[in-house]
């Protein structure tokens, strides 16, 4: 019993972080129909910002989170202007943007690789290796803090989307781009904004990831399928769905990892992605897909 509880707690804590990693991906898809394959690469970008600050000035990774988020959001604005604005009218828009973000992912990987080499990095604040003990069950502090911060950020994002005027506009654009434009929403501006928030979330996730996982530039290929499976399970574009999907898959992966073997826990995500795409492409909370 204690073992099951233990696995459950570890899975949920990691699930929180994965939810934050996926939420930006989901938001960007919802508003702009861009499947951003470069998202994990940009998360790693955020992780390197945090890592550098930690190594050079000993700044706590969680304290560094806002800086990483804002920096990456700025990067997001630039990327949107450079890459996606002109693609908006192309006939095969969604397919085009997938390939374009794929190219972007390679560029980010190559850039980070030539700047920082492909060595495994990790930030090591005190709490990264410490743990709470409740009876037999231990809760690693690093993962707990990261999970809690992630869920707090996602809660703030949900409140913003639900109650602010910009949030209305973003949700309206997600639901129906043309109708939103007709009702006076500046869809161009909302797209840039949502893209910046999405990439900003990647930066924020990067800060947390920096002490939860070890990372190197080529790591993002493992994450893309993992995040995709989370986002697709929840329903592309739904933030709540992403959280639920992340928690479910992360717990399942934790059980698979403990009972079957650590190498197979990542396989859970990939197989899940495969199965969900084929059985229920719109996911748990998604609308009927317009991907076709």
H or E, element range at 139: strand 137-140
User: With binding defined as CB under 8 A, does residue 94 bind other proteins?
Assistant: yes
Give the relative orientation of helices 93-116 and 220-234 as an angle to the nearest 10 degrees.
Answer: 140
Q: Does 120 bind other proteins (CB under 8 A)?
A: no
Phi and psi angles of residue 25, each rounded to the nearest 5 degrees, phi first: -60, -45
Q: Which of 96, 94, 123, 116 is nearest to 45 (CA)?
A: 116
With CB under 8 A as the contact rule, which of the stretches 4-12, 95-103, 137-145, 182-190 interacts with other proteins? 95-103
Closer by beta carbon to other proteins, 3 or else 95: 95
Please tell me whether residue 99 binds other proteins under the rule CB under 8 A. yes
Residue closer to other proteins by CB (options 27, 169) is 27
What tokens does 62 get?
Answer: 């969680």
Sign of torsion over alpha carbons 209, 211, 212, 218: positive
**Under rule CB under 8 A, which residues in 60-89 are in contact with other proteins?**
83, 86-87
**Site residues (CB under 8 A) for other proteins, limited to 126-185:** none
Report how far apart, in Å, the C-alpha atoms of 45 and of each of 71, 76, 125, 151, 157 are: 10, 12, 19, 21, 21
By CB under 8 A, is residue 292 in contact with other proteins? yes
CA torsion angle 226 232 238 242 (round to 10): -30
- Contact residue for other proteins among 135, 178, 263, 288 (CB under 8 A): 263
- In the set 8, 52, 77, 106, which binds other proteins (CB under 8 A)? 106
Query: Which residues would be at the binding site for other proteins (CB under 8 A)?
Result: 35, 37, 83, 86-87, 90, 94-96, 98-100, 102-111, 113-114, 117-118, 217, 221-222, 224-225, 228-229, 232, 263-264, 266-267, 270-271, 273-274, 277-278, 281, 289, 291-292
């Amino acid at each position: 019993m204690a073992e099951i509880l233990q696995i459950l707690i570890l899975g949920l804590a990691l699930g929180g972080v994965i939810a934050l990693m996926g939420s930006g991906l989901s938001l960007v898809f919802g508003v702009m129909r861009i499947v951003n394959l470069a998202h994990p690469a940009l998360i790693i970008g955020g992780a390197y910002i945090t890592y550098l600050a930690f190594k050079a000035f000993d700044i706590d990774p969680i304290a560094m989170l806002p800086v990483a988020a804002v920096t990456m959001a700025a990067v997001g604005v630039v990327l949107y202007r450079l890459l996606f604005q002109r693609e908006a009218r192309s006939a095969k828009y969604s397919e085009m943007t997938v390939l374009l973000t794929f190219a972007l992912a390679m560029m980010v990987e190559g850039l980070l690789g030539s700047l920082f080499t492909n060595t495994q990095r990790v930030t090591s604040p005190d709490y990264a290796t410490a743990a709470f003990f409740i009876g037999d069950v231990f809760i690693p502090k690093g993962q707990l803090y990261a999970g809690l911060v992630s869920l707090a950020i996602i809660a703030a994002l949900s409140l913003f989307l639900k109650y602010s005027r910009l949030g209305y506009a973003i949700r309206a654009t997600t639901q129906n781009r043309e109708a939103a434009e007709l009702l006076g929403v500046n869809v161009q501006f909302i797209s840039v904004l949502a893209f910046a928030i999405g990439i900003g979330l990647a930066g924020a996730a990067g800060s947390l990831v920096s002490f939860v996982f070890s990372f190197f530039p080529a790591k993002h290929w493992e994450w893309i399928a993992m995040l995709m499976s989370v986002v697709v399970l929840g329903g592309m574009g739904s933030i709540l769905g992403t959280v639920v999907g992340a928690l479910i898959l992360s717990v399942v992966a934790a059980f698979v990892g403990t009972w079957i073997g650590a190498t197979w826990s990542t396989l859970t995500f990939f197989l899940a992605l495969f199965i969900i795409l084929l059985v229920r492409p719109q996911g748990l909370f998604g609308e009927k897909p317009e991907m076709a």
